[in-house]
Every structure is written in C-alpha cells, then in structure tokens.
Chain A
Amino acid sequence: MSKIIPEFIVKKNEDKCINCKVCVRQCSEEVYKYFEDFDLIRIYDDKCVGCHRCDLMCPTDALTITKNNSQYKENSHWDNYTIKSIKKQAETGGMILTGSGNDKPYTSYWDRILLDASQVTNPAIDPIREPMELRTYLGKKSDKLSIKEENGEIFLETELSPQLKIETPIMFSAMSYGSISLNTCESLASAASKLGTFYNTGEGGLHKKLYKYGKNTIGQVASGRFGVHTDYLNACAAIEIKIGQGAKPGIGGHLPGEKVTVEISQTRMMPPGTDAISPAPHHDIYSIEDLKQLIALIKEATDYEKPVLVKIAAVHNSAAIASGIARAGADVIVIDGFRGGTGAAPSVIRDNTGIPIEVALAVIDQRLRDESIRNDVSIVAAGGIRSSADAVKAIALGADAVYIGTAALVAMGCTLCQKCYKGKCNWGLTTQDPVLTRRLNPAIGSQNLVNLVNSWSLEIKEIIGSMGINAIEALRGNRYRLRGIGLSDVESDILGIEHAGM
C-alpha cells in the first residue's frame, strides 16, 4: 500500500457529463477507465498529474481538477512535498525525478525590477508610427574597424566574424529530439524560420526532416556527442557547446532506452533501445584550455564560417568562468539560470543548485566590461524568461538576446505539470509515444510560437518606445532605465541598478 496522499482530486459534474469518454481516451496517465458493463467512468485520482488535458478537452466542461485539500498536517518545516518525497524514497529507494524548471519560492529578481519611461523632457516613441528596431547580431565584434579611403571611395578592410542575425532578440532554447517529440522540434524549427530567429537542437542531433530549417538552427554539441557529424555541423547555422544546464548544473543527461526509438537512434547515431547517457562533464574538457581546443576544432570543422556558442549553467563563479570562455574564443556565451527547464533532473539538484539568471547576467556583463572584452562575445540569457518584460529587463541588464524554452512549450500546450520525465506528456510534447506525439500538429504548434514571439516583440517595441529608445542596441546594458524595488543594497549593487526613487 502506498502511503502517498494524492495531489489532485478529479471531480466530474454528472449533470454535465454526456459520457462521451473523451477524458478516457485522452488521459495517458489512465486516470479514467470506462467499464462497459456498468456504463460507468471510474476515476483514479491518485494517478492524476494535474496536466488538465481532460478538463480542457471535455466538451461540456464537466471536469474540474482541484488540489487535494486532504494533506498531511500543516508544518512549515516538514511541508507536504518533503514528506511525500521521503515516503516515495522509502518506497522506491531512488532519486526523486522532476521535470521543467525550479518552482520553489526563491526571490524572482525580475519581479523586483521596474522599468523607466519618458515624460516631458524626452518624447516617448510610438512604435506604430515610427521605426522601432529589434534586429540583433550575435557574435564576436571587432573592437575596431579598419576603413580605407582612396580617391573618395571607402573600403572596409576588416572582415567581420561570423554573426547570427535575429530579427527579434528572442530565440528558442535547446530541447533535444528525444526529450521532445519530432513534431515539437518541427514546430520550433518552422517557427524560428518564419520569425527570422533560431531554435536549438539540444543534444538530439538533427532529424533528416529538419535539415531544411538548417539556416535557423543552432546545433548543440554536448558531452554525449550524440548526432554530431560533419553534415550536422555544416547544416546548422551555429554550433553551441553545452557545458551545463541551469536546471541541473553539474549533472549530465539520461534518455531512457525505451524512449530511444529507431528514428531517434538513427538521428543520435546510437543503438535503438539503449539508454542515451550524456556524462556530467565533457570527457575531453577538464579545464578551460580544453574548451579552447574544442572551440578551435569546431571552427576548423566548419571553415570558420559559423559562430560557436558556449552554454553554461549560472553558478556562483559564473563571472570568472564567462571571462575564461570569452578568452577561449567563444563567439556567444549562453547563461542558463536556475529557473531553466529540463526534461528530467533529480529534484534535489534542480531545487538547490545554481543561481538566478538576473544575478549571473549582471555580474557577467559587468565583469566582461571591466576586462574590456564585452565586445568579444554576445551574451544570451536563458532560464525562466516568462514575458517580454523579463526579456527587456534581461537586455537592459546586459544580454544581447534571450532564449525561451518553457514559455515556448507553454505556447504549444504545456501546462507545467512537471512530469516531462515520465514520457507520457498528454500534450504530445515530451513524449515519443506515437499515440501522444500526434497530439501536436506542427502547423498549430508553429503558428502558436510565431504568435507568441510576435506579440512579445510588439510589447518590447512598445516598452522601449515608452523609454524613448528606438533601437534595441540602445537598450542593451542600459541599466539606468531599470530600478529596483524592495532590494537590499547588496542586491542593488550586484544587479548594478539604483533603487526606485533614486
């Protein structure tokens, strides 16, 4: 007998239920079972993960999923989550797994930062009437251009380093084929190409079907090196070396064998049905000089035509690490904060390791400026960006662009039930089950993503217009347009912003 109290209660309103059995057919967790002999739908609350597929599909709104109020006795130290975890571990003897990002009530600095606007002395700019530029180039910038003038003609002598052009400073972050379905990958890829931005393959390689989106693809090279080969490197527009992930700094990846279908095995170049294990470190990178060699190697393999990104999880020493990465020759540094999502991570790691992206971003940007190497790299902030306001704050703190992962999944249907690791995603996102993967029609998924990013871009234009800014580069690192609210002196100092009223 399990001693774990169900988290949710599923209520069916019999006055409304028409017995159409959509709930029975839709729930992959088998919460509903139909007994033909009794013409009865039986409900098993303990199996419910709270994903809301059933109540959203129910044509008569007859279902409600509520929190189970019957819980262990309230205790602010031994909260229910803790007690349940202990019981689960006592029953199974394993680590508690979880999916998506850290949901614990740590301070969200985004919510403690307010934006400035123009009044009187400086006209606000209306994005509907005036040009408002969000275009961004990611990559190493020269410090100086060499320009020659001869007979009245001007020649540019400097050759620019390879750049990634994005029409809006929002990209889709790394999610591998394996952790998400091919339909989900295709939705991201086609949305990125329609939006003029990029999506990221994660460590899943590039499925044949997705090569046509190569121009808008950032290919990841991670510690398992799955799916990495010459065609892959050359098909992608840029290569990202993944050192760490915000949700699980210092932890590798594990795709269980049952998820490794034939298609995935071919894409990842590994036998079907075997576990895909990405080690915690790259076993050819035990220090910064090794990273430099891998960067050089990738550049050599791609004819120095593609920018190389290096992604790290935000940890205490990020600033120094980022400086090292810039000096190791990376073109872009990606910092993934502790709110970043994951397909699967031990919850003890996800909930306790790493630092907020706001803090990491602020110190990294400042450190690179202090060392006069900020122009050598672009910075992409990732990990828990929820809205256009978060994106604006990130850019004003010093980022060139942001990655969104969780927000993109939510746009495609995800309801943050955090059960990605089970492979039974009812929304067809984090699953390989053919019954479930067909639930995401890429035409719809891609359109939802395009709509989301377009509406955020519109909001960003509106926000910077209100600040009297009409080009995104004038917002980048412009911390004067931010003010803290309820921040201590230390926090304000670290973020490099004044308190509201100053």
Chain B
Amino acid sequence: MNKLCREKDISGCSIFGLINTDGEKVSGRVITDAISVMHDRSNGLGGGFSGYGIYPEYPDEYAFHLFFDSIKAKEETEDLMNKNFLIEYDEKIRTDNSVNLPNKPLLWRYFLKNRNILTKEGEREETFRVVMDINNNIDGAYVISSGKNMGVFKGVGFPEDISKFYRLEEYSGYTWTAHGRFPTNTPGWWGGAHPFGLLDWTIVHNGEISSYDANRRYLEMYGYRCNLVTDTEVITYLFDYLVRKNNLSLPLASKVISSPMWEDIDRMDKKERELLKALRITYGGALLTGPFSVILGFENGIMGLGDRLKLRPFIVGKNENTVYMSSEECAIRKISPELDSVYRPRGGEFTIAMLDECYE
C-alpha cells in the first residue's frame, strides 16, 4: 500500500467499548463476543481491538505495535527508534496463523524507554514526534499504537477473525474497545483498520467526517501529518491536539469537536457563553461535521461522543462496575443481559467513564 493513499477512506461501522471502573481485568474474549453480534455492520474488510492494562510486565515503557511491509522498513525503523529510545524488549506479535487473512504484514511490538530525561509532557511529545517520523518517512512502516500498557490489534477481516488471529483471549485488560468495519472504497489494507492509536489515545469510530479537509489542514499547522487519509486518524489527532497540547479537559474538548449550536450558546448564561464562544472561535478548525459516533480510549477511561445531529447510533449501558458503549444495544445485552441502566446520549453529548469514578 502506498504511503500517500490519495483517496479518502469511507466506511460504515460497528463500535463497542467497555470499561471496568474498579480496574478489574477481563479477557479479550468478552469484547469479541460483543462485537461479533454486530457482524452485519461490517463486511470483512476491517476489524480491530484495543486493550488497556494488557502489558502489566512493562507498565512504564511505551508499547509500540508496528506493521512492516518489509524487513528493510523494520531495520530503518529500529535505527530511528534507537536514536531516541532504548528498546527494552521486542518480539513478533503472537498470532494464530490458522486464521486465513489476506495481505498480512509483518507484525512486531517493542517496549521502549526514552533515552533522555524529560518531563512527562516532554517525553510524550518526543514519542509523538518519533511516531510521526516513522509514519511519514519510512516506507512500509506504520505505528499502530504507541501508548503505555496498552495495545491495538487490527487487520483486514471480520472482528471475530481478527480476535482469533491475535489470540486476544490470552490478553486481559480493564478497558477494551472494538471495531467492525464496512469500507466502501479502501482496498484491504491493514493500516486502514481501526482502532487508530496515538500515544495512549485510541479511537474507534463509526461515521464519515464531512469537515475532513478543514480538520486535516488545521492539524497540519501543528505538526500532524494525516497520511492514512482516514477520518479516524484526524479524530485521534484532534483529541491529542486539544487535550495533550492545549490542556483542555475531555468535556471541553468534546465541546470543541461537537460544538453546541450558536443559538444554544447564545441562550447560555454569560460565563458559560463566553467560554463556549471562545472555544468555538479559537478552535473552529477542530469542529467535526458529518455523521459520527466515536469511542475514545485513554489511559484511565473511555469517552463516547456523537455528532451534533446524532446521525449515527450510539448507546450506553451500565451494570454494576462496568460501563458499555455500543452502536447497538444487542451487543451489550449479549455479554451483560441484565443492565442497571441504559442511556441514549443526544447529539453532541459526551459520556465519560473512568476508573474509580463514573459520570455521564
């Protein structure tokens, strides 16, 4: 697959996310059971998962998952990594090769430690730059995820096949997100599957962003390069930009991405109005339009967010200490037939579930 895929990726999808707010870990099998209920929302051209808390043996190293098209790409990438990082451990990602999937790339994971002594923010910025560097400048190498104690597993196939291929039942995490994909125009390319990951952000997304190029060109001013030409990539970068680089809280970032309408802002009391007006004026380039619902995974929680008009399905369920987010209720009921509460967020409304606490 060429680095600069010029045609934009368009797809419909199923998404699912769960978090155990007490931090108890569940096996990847659970989420596989859930996403496979929504089999008909994908067409076998993409599926994937992200798990948080899956590498307790390397909690402080950046876990990089990579796709390589060639050994040469792998060597170049390792040279580049070595400049900034110490490779604590690396291995081929364990797979079940009895699963028949097309165009499998070489899959590798690294656990990296920064060579320099940096602040937490500086360290993340450094890691971000290396990820951008690899994705932009090394032919045939793609960083699939790059956070700590988390990882993304994705490829071309139905989600349940992808899960079997990566042997997900062997991993356990406190947060899982999953994605089944129905692309309309992308050839079977592994990098195009979801979730999309950067640092510890992961995004699974169902939708098509009509504001894509406005967002892409906005982000490119701040050092992001959107080479994968997917909406998901842009959404991930937007969250990274707003939250990590601009220190906005997740609720405020979601007010930027799915901004309230001006007529609603005009009706708010003065303090809130001034704040939302300032956000919308300042970060106008980060407003997403078009239908979408996304589940954003991060270090200690997940957030669901829909577009301003609620053009894609999204539902939240809660049972004891587990919060579920899904395209369809049936997927939640499959793994948790009894629920304490079920909630359908309105357009542009965010839902956050975090470890130890939970608010909607």
Whether chains A and B associate is yes
Q: State how many angstroms separate the Cβ of B222 from the closest Cβ of chain A.
A: 7
Size class of B's contact patch?
Answer: 35 or more
B290 near A469 with CB under 8 A, answer yes
The reply on A158 being an interface residue by CB < 8 A is yes
**Segment of A96-104, A172-180, A187-195, A476-484 engaged in the interface with chain B:** A476-484
B262 near A468 with CB under 8 A, answer no
A158 near B221 with CB under 8 A, answer no
Interface of A is mostly: loop
Which residues 216-252 of B sit at the A interface, judged by CB distance below 8 A?
A: 216-218, 220-222, 245-249, 252
A468 near B8 with CB under 8 A, answer no
Q: State how many angstroms separate the Cβ of A186 from the closest Cβ of chain B.
A: 29
The reply on A1 being an interface residue by CB < 8 A is no
The reply on A255 being an interface residue by CB < 8 A is no
The reply on B214 being an interface residue by CB < 8 A is yes
Name the contact of B275 in the complex, choosing from A121, A154, A480 (C-beta under 8 A). Answer: A154
Known contacts A125-B309, A131-B263: A474-B291 contact under CB 8 Å: no
Q: State how many angstroms separate the Cβ of A157 from the closest Cβ of chain B.
A: 10
B214 near A156 with CB under 8 A, answer no
Which residues 117-144 of A sit at the B interface, judged by CB distance below 8 A?
A: 118, 120-123, 125, 130-131, 133, 135, 137, 141-144
Interface centre among B289, B291, B311 (most CB of A within 10 A): B289
B217 near A147 with CB under 8 A, answer no
Known contacts A135-B262, A469-B289, A478-B214: A121-B208 contact under CB 8 Å: yes
The reply on B213 being an interface residue by CB < 8 A is yes
The reply on A206 being an interface residue by CB < 8 A is no
Residues of B within 8 A of A478 (CB): 211-214, 217
Name the contact of B278 in the complex, choosing from A123, A149, A160, A474 (C-beta under 8 A). Answer: A160
Q: State how many angstroms separate the Cβ of B197 from the closest Cβ of chain A.
A: 24
The reply on B279 being an interface residue by CB < 8 A is yes
Q: State how many angstroms separate the Cβ of A169 from the closest Cβ of chain B.
A: 12
Residues of B within 8 A of A477 (CB): 213-214, 217-218, 285
Closest A-chain residue to B275, C-beta based?
A156
Complex Cα distance, B290 from A125, in Å, reads 9
The reply on B261 being an interface residue by CB < 8 A is yes
Size class of A's contact patch?
Answer: 35 or more
Residues of A within 8 A of B213 (CB): 477-481
Complex Cα distance, B307 from A469, in Å, reads 11
Name the contact of B289 in the complex, choosing from A163, A375, A468 (C-beta under 8 A). Answer: A468
Q: State how many angstroms separate the Cβ of B155 from the closest Cβ of chain A.
A: 22
A476 near B281 with CB under 8 A, answer no
Q: State how many angstroms separate the Cβ of B192 from the closest Cβ of chain A.
A: 15
A473 near B284 with CB under 8 A, answer yes
Complex Cα distance, B291 from A130, in Å, reads 13
Q: Return the CB mask of B284-297 against A: 1 if under 8 Å, else 0.
A: 11011111000000
Name the contact of B252 in the complex, choosing from A137, A141, A147 (C-beta under 8 A). Answer: A147
Residues of B within 8 A of A212 (CB): none
B221 near A369 with CB under 8 A, answer yes
Name the contact of B279 in the complex, choosing from A118, A145, A471 (C-beta under 8 A). Answer: A145
The reply on A467 being an interface residue by CB < 8 A is yes
Residues of B within 8 A of A374 (CB): 221
- Which 7 residue pairs across A and B have the least CB separation, nearest first? A474-B211, A480-B213, A468-B210, A473-B284, A478-B214, A474-B289, A122-B208
26 contacts between A and B (CB under 8 A): A118-B290, A121-B208, A141-B281, A145-B248, A145-B279, A145-B283, A154-B252, A369-B221, A372-B221, A374-B221, A375-B285, A468-B208, A469-B289, A469-B290, A470-B308, A470-B309, A471-B259, A473-B284, A473-B287, A474-B214, A476-B214, A476-B285, A477-B285, A478-B211, A478-B213, A480-B212
Interface residues of A (CB under 8 A from B): 118, 120-123, 125, 130-131, 133, 135, 137, 141-145, 147, 149, 154, 156, 158, 160, 163, 369, 372, 374-375, 467-471, 473-481, 498, 502
| 10 additional contacts (CB under 8 A) given A470-B309, A478-B214 | A121-B208, A122-B210, A144-B245, A145-B246, A160-B282, A369-B220, A374-B221, A474-B288, A476-B284, A478-B217
